[in-house]
Homo-oligomer: A and B are copies of this chain.
Amino acid sequence: MPSISWRARSVQASPIRKLKPLADQAKRAGKKVYHLNIGQPDIPTPKEYFDGIRQAAQGVLAYSPSQGLDEALDALAEYYRTFEISLNRDQIIVTTGGSEAITFAMLAVTDVGDQILAPEPYYTNYNSYAQITGVQIVPIETRAEDGFRLPDRTSIEAKITPKTKAILFCNPGNPTGVVYTRAELEMLAEIARTRNLYLIADEVYREFTYDGAQAISVLQLPGIEDRAILVDSISKRFSACGARIGVIASKNSSVMESALKFAQARLSPPTLEQYGLIHLLKSSEYKNFVREMISEFARRRDVVYAELQQMPGVICAKPQGAFYVTAKLPLEDAEHFVRWLLTDFSLDNETVMLAPAAEFYATPGKGRDEVRIAYVLNVDALKRAMRVLHEGLRAYTKIR
């Protein structure tokens, strides 16, 4: 049999999903499993989105332009305008999900063997895109104890080598829940400017901010228009994960021309899904949808954070954004704990599934005592799930 490529062997199997068989087993055994391990919200997708799909579901389901339908580009430009981000059509490409947008950004600014800095913990799949594109992600360390704030400029600059091409960050942050301050973002911008790097911002959680925090976009930072690349997706803000509609946007025309070539190679993003988005963005309803959803997530965050505060030895900052919290637990091996919750524990025949946080770190050994909790269930279910977790943690730490 011919061999498999080195890069195929080195890409990690989806860590968030690798415990799924244990969850399936627990369910077959009759346990209820609360899924706090994956960022799939439970909020129904807006009706206007589906209406747009229905209206377009006829005739010839043709390729859209590789860049996206003109109407989609215009609707997106209008959406960004509400955040005081001014983009023309040529500065936007509709991608097949945020995943593709990140891959296009990496392909545009790096060659094989180049490096990209990223604050860790970071979204695990960045590693997969890096392995696919032959890039090395160099972590900038942040810590649960410091609320995952960025370190100072010197520490970040110490990581830069001649191979460094970009800084990639997620704001609001998955898995940290951090929303970067203007000062933090201006520091990154200043580093990018003086060290000639691109700044790639994954802003798929833009609207998910709480306590009055505001996510400042990389495209709102002055003086780096030539090096700011926005990566975006409708998955979370419109609860449309299955749509596979994302965005790459930049005012750097070379970046956009490069991304367009990669986009042309895969012909077209999904066509009907763009009609759903166009119809949704044209309706006045979408802002209400987002507003109500964020209120709901704020309540959920409060539940999760309050419950975590009750658990002895658990360390986490109050998350200000996204719908995750990464918490340090009073134990050594969070993955073992997560497995044990599925295989050995239940409270009234219920258990909970979390994401071990080590998978969000590039530095070996880091995050081993941390978990990421995605608060994607309704408040009642979350309360119950957190109670199960609390009892599970108590039982686990007692027997260890």
Chain A residues close to B by CB (< 8 Å): 1-2, 4-9, 11-14, 17, 40-45, 49-50, 53-54, 57-64, 66, 96-97, 99-100, 103, 107-112, 114, 125, 128-129, 132, 134, 165-166, 196-198, 226-227, 239-244, 252, 254-255, 258, 260-262, 264-273
A264 with B50, Cβ < 8 A, contacts A40-B62, A60-B239 known: no
**In the bound complex, CA of A41 to CA of B99 (Å):** 29
Q: Are A108 and B4 in touch, CB under 8 angstroms? A: yes
**In the bound complex, CA of A57 to CA of B262 (Å):** 30
Besides A61-B239, A128-B265, 19 more A-B contacts (Cβ < 8 Å) are A2-B198, A5-B109, A8-B262, A13-B261, A45-B60, A50-B61, A60-B239, A61-B243, A63-B241, A96-B266, A96-B270, A112-B134, A129-B265, A243-B270, A243-B271, A244-B244, A244-B268, A244-B269, A244-B271
A50 interface neighbour in B17, B58, B197, Cβ under 8 Å: B58
Copies in the complex: 2
**In the bound complex, CA of A129 to CA of B43 (Å):** 36
A45 with B61, Cβ < 8 A, contacts A1-B227, A107-B7, A125-B267 known: yes
With a CB–CB cut-off of 8 A, which chain B residues contact A267? 97, 99, 125, 241
Q: Name the residue in A8, A9, A129, A166 with the highest tally of chain B Cβ atoms < 10 Å from its Cβ.
A: A8
A262 with B128, Cβ < 8 A, contacts A255-B4, A270-B270 known: yes
A43 with B60, Cβ < 8 A, contacts A6-B111, A11-B261, A226-B1 known: yes
**In the bound complex, CA of A262 to CA of B334 (Å):** 26
25 A-B contacts (beta carbon < 8 Å): A4-B108, A4-B258, A5-B114, A5-B258, A8-B107, A8-B258, A8-B261, A11-B261, A11-B262, A40-B63, A41-B60, A44-B60, A50-B57, A50-B61, A61-B242, A62-B242, A63-B241, A63-B242, A96-B270, A99-B265, A107-B132, A112-B112, A125-B264, A241-B267, A242-B271
Majority DSSP secondary structure for residues of A touching B: loop
Q: Nearest CB to that of A109 among chain B residues? A: B5
Cβ of A364 to closest chain B Cβ, rounded Å: 20
With a CB–CB cut-off of 8 A, which chain B residues contact A266? 96-97, 99-100, 103, 125
With a CB–CB cut-off of 8 A, which chain B residues contact A58? 44, 50
Q: Are A242 and B8 in touch, CB under 8 angstroms? A: no
Cβ of A180 to closest chain B Cβ, rounded Å: 21
With a CB–CB cut-off of 8 A, which chain B residues contact A265? 11, 14, 99, 125, 128-129, 132
**In the bound complex, CA of A74 to CA of B177 (Å):** 39
Q: Name the residue in A5, A107, A111 with the highest tally of chain B Cβ atoms < 10 Å from its Cβ.
A: A5
**In the bound complex, CA of A45 to CA of B45 (Å):** 25
**In the bound complex, CA of A63 to CA of B17 (Å):** 13
**In the bound complex, CA of A35 to CA of B306 (Å):** 62
